[in-house]
Amino acid sequence: MKLSKSEEKLMELIWSNQTIFMKDILESHPDPKPAASTVATLLKRMQEKGYVAYNVYGNSRQYYPLVEKPDYFIGKFKTIIKDFFSDSPLKFASFFTKQADLSTKELEEIKELVEREIKRRKE
């Protein structure tokens, strides 16, 4: 189950802090700050989806991630490849190398990364 844009923004805040209380979430937002009930609703949805959990300290909840950022990104990246590139990493790589406005040096660095990975897998 994926996160909405609002949930992703909140998740970024949780990932960057690792643990965070509701009051700190609200304080971290610029004015106009979201309503506490809005943030609570987002956190509840994220908990139901299995992305966050919390510990209770008195009347406060300290939230923490259940899914790490790299794991979430990998899932999102796989979805992009599936949805936009017919589940073909090769089509994605072709698109990326042509459209990302990479310098020759950056393309050479990518080539080196690929060659190292090929070598590692053959060993």
List pLDDT tens digits, range 12-40: 999 999 999 999 999 998 888 899 999 99
Q: What is the CATH number of domain 5-65?
A: 1.10.10.10
Contact 65, 15 (CB under 8 A): yes
Q: What angle do CA 74, 28, 37 make, to 5 degrees?
A: 90
pTM for the predicted model, two decimal places: 0.76
- Give me the residue spans of the domains in the chain: 5-65, 69-122
Which residues in the chain come in under a pLDDT of 70? none
